[in-house]
Amino acid sequence: MSVPDLRPKQKRSQETHDKFLESLQNALQVKYFEHISIKELAEGAGVSVGTFYRRFENKEALLPLLYDAFGKELGEWIEEMEALECSSLEEQVTILCESTHMFLDARKSVFRTIHLNARLHSDTIFANPTLDRNEAYSRLSNLLLKFTHKSSQKSDSMKQHAADMVIYMMINGLLDKILYPNLTPAIACSMSQASFVEQLPKMLVNYLKPCFSEL
């Protein structure tokens, strides 16, 4: 069953949606999504509760807009990563880990909401995103694949799998440390968040080198 595209087509409706989205983003800075009321969202947008209900069935209906807005920021960040000039695999992985950490940490309130509700509302939150996440992760993997040696005996598929694994482990590791530092599995690693970000690229590079090297 297809899910309708909830993005408004008219400029006036778009402006109203943007106000509600901004109101939600501001509210997420001080409290969790589940604790935010419709009244708070309406007040933050400068409109009535009735105006909210004329456009949305409930506050969960804002989740696709939040996911889409985050995707736009993600796309802009990836473009910045693609524009950087790195001279080695080690430098690329290190910069990618540090930048990913800063990007996610600055948006942790929004990402926590997306992270949790994507599992509860997977049939709607992923509806027609502007940025396809498969494409986004593939672009991050390609940043690593630039450093493969053509003379490597490993197949292209093995190199691709290795790069994909690194992106997966990097994002998941950082997410747990940022969003749930005092919960399992993050507590399995006793080092601080700063130390984790420092050590993570060293581990990931050691994993990649056998697949990317000439030997």
Residue 2 in any domain: the answer is: no
Residue 3 in any domain: the answer is: no
**Claim to verify: residue 47 and residue 80 sit in the same structural domain:** no
Q: Which two tokens stand for residue 77?
A: 């960040």
DSSP state of 31: S
Question: Taking Cα atoms as reference points, which of 145, 214, 205 lies closest to residue 169?
Answer: 205
Write the CATH number for 132: 1.10.357.10
Cα–Cα dist 95/97, whole Å: 5
Residue 105 in any domain: the answer is: yes
Residue 162 in any domain: the answer is: yes
Instruction: Return the residue matching tokens 């005092």.
Output: 182
Residue 5 in any domain: the answer is: no
Cα–Cα dist 215/56, whole Å: 58
**Claim to verify: residue 79 and residue 56 sit in the same structural domain:** no
Q: What pLDDT, in 10s, does the model give residues 5-37? A: 444 555 567 888 899 999 999 999 999 999 999
**Claim to verify: residue 159 and residue 185 sit in the same structural domain:** yes
Q: What is the pLDDT of residue 125?
A: 73
Write the CATH number for 28: 1.10.10.60
The torsion angles phi and psi of 61, rounded to 5 degrees, stand at -70, -15
**Claim to verify: residue 115 and residue 175 sit in the same structural domain:** yes
**What is the number of domains present in the chain?**
2
Domain boundary (41, 62, 83) is at 62
**Claim to verify: residue 92 and residue 29 sit in the same structural domain:** no
Q: What pLDDT, in 10s, does the model give residues 105-129? A: 999 999 899 988 888 877 777 766 7
Residue 99 in any domain: the answer is: yes
Cα–Cα dist 38/20, whole Å: 10
Q: What pLDDT, in 10s, does the model give residues 57-71? A: 999 999 989 999 999
Task: Tell whether the model's pLDDT for residue 3 goes beyond 60.
Answer: no
Cα–Cα dist 5/75, whole Å: 20
Question: What's the distance, CA 45 to chain centroid?
Answer: 25
**Claim to verify: residue 89 and residue 177 sit in the same structural domain:** yes
**Claim to verify: residue 29 and residue 40 sit in the same structural domain:** yes
CB 114 within 8 A of CB 67: yes
Residue 140 in any domain: the answer is: yes
Q: What is the pLDDT of residue 10?
A: 52
**Claim to verify: residue 110 and residue 193 sit in the same structural domain:** yes
Q: What pLDDT, in 10s, does the model give residues 147-204? A: 987 766 678 899 999 999 999 999 999 999 999 999 999 999 999 999 999 999 999 9
Q: What is the pLDDT of residue 93?
A: 98
Cα–Cα dist 111/104, whole Å: 7
Host domain of residue 26: 11-62
Question: Taking Cα atoms as reference points, which of 36, 60, 41 lies closest to residue 51?
Answer: 41
Residue 47 in any domain: the answer is: yes
Q: How does the average pLDDT of the chain come out, rounded?
A: 89
**Claim to verify: residue 88 and residue 26 sit in the same structural domain:** no
**Claim to verify: residue 55 and residue 26 sit in the same structural domain:** yes
**Claim to verify: residue 104 and residue 86 sit in the same structural domain:** yes
**Claim to verify: residue 77 and residue 165 sit in the same structural domain:** yes
